[in-house]
Structure formats: structure tokens, C-alpha cells
């Protein structure tokens, strides 16, 4: 096994899955995968600021703010005053945002089943999910520190 081949397979699979999920969400829910991810973050947070969204999605605060502007214009979320900090606002899904998110979850679950669960089976898919979670956690600790061998 050559490590670069594993990486190549992983990246190509991710690209293919992203494109398929994005197209399915756009077709059935009117939102893309990026919007679905952002709405999911806002929904899961008890008090989500633009900064929190940026950190969760690993994007810039400016990019997150522009996305929030688009979602607000589409009627998917609102900015509410932050009682703890007048300079920031809290993000809240609208009823339309909640509806799109719920529909999107069904679409994403179906596509994930088609792309991962059906070909692998339940037990291997569960091991794969656990492995991905471990790798993501390890990557998070490396992302904040120096790369091995770096000066």
C-alpha cells in the first residue's frame, strides 16, 4: 500500500461525495452542502456567533459573515443582538431555515447510506466513522502546532 494512493482515493471520494450531496440538496431542498453545513452548526449551538460558525467550518470570519448575509437574505436565519456583547450578534434559524435543514438531513442521510453504508455494510461503516473521528481529532491537535520537521 502506498500512502499517497490512500490519500488520493480519500480526496477523490470526498470530492465525488461532496458533488453528489450538493446536487441532491440543491435539487430537493434548494440549498447546497455548504449552506446545509452552516445551518447545522447554527442549529447545534446554544448561542452561535459568526466567529463560532467560522471556527466550526474552518473558514474565515469574513467568509462566514458573507455566508450569513446570504442566508439572512434567503430568510433562513436571523441575527439577534447578543446580550453578553453589544458588538456581536447571535445567529438563529428561522422556521424556513429549520424546515430546509430538516429536509436536508433526510437527503444527506439517504446519500450517505448510498455512498458509504450500502457498499461497506453497517459494522465496517461504523469502524470507518470511528477512524475518521480519530483522524480528525488528531489533525485538530496538529493544526495548531508546528509541522514535524519544520524550523
pLDDT in tens, 117-145: 999 999 999 999 999 999 988 987 776 54
- The yes-or-no verdict on residue 36 having pLDDT over 90 is yes
Q: Tell me which of 29-38, 81-90, 108-117 is least confident.
A: 81-90
Q: Which cell numbers hold the place of 78? A: 436571523
25: number of Cβ within 10 Å:
22
Q: Which are the contacts of 65, defined by CB distance < 8 A and separation ≥ 6?
A: 50
Per-position b or e across 39-48, b if 16+ CB within 10 A of its CB: bbbbbeeeeb
Contact 50, 91 (CB under 8 A): yes
All domains of the chain, ordered by start, with CATH?
A: 3-140 (1.10.10.10)
Q: Residue 136: what pLDDT?
A: 86
Using one digit for the tens of pLDDT, what is the confidence trace for 14-34? Answer: 999 999 999 999 999 999 999
Question: Rounded to whole angstroms, how far apart are CA atoms 30 and 107?
Answer: 12
Amino acid at each position: 500500500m502506498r500512502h499517497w494512493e490512500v490519500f488520493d482515493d480519500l480526496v477523490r471520494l470526498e470530492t465525488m461525495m461532496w458533488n453528489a450531496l450538493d446536487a441532491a440538496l440543491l435539487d430537493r431542498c434548494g440549498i447546497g452542502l455548504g449552506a446545509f453545513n452552516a445551518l447545522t452548526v447554527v442549529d447545534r449551538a446554544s448561542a452561535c456567533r459568526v466567529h463560532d460558525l467560522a471556527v466550526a467550518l474552518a473558514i474565515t470570519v469574513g467568509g462566514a459573515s458573507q455566508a450569513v448575509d446570504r442566508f439572512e437574505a434567503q430568510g433562513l436565519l436571523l441575527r439577534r443582538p447578543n446580550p453578553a456583547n453589544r458588538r456581536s450578534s447571535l445567529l438563529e434559524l428561522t422556521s424556513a431555515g429549520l424546515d430546509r435543514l430538516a429536509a436536508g438531513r433526510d437527503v444527506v442521510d439517504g446519500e450517505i447510506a448510498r455512498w458509504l453504508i450500502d457498499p461497506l455494510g453497517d459494522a465496517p461503516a461504523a469502524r470507518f466513522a470511528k477512524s475518521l473521528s480519530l483522524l480528525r481529532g488528531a489533525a485538530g491537535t496538529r493544526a495548531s502546532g508546528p509541522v514535524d520537521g519544520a524550523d
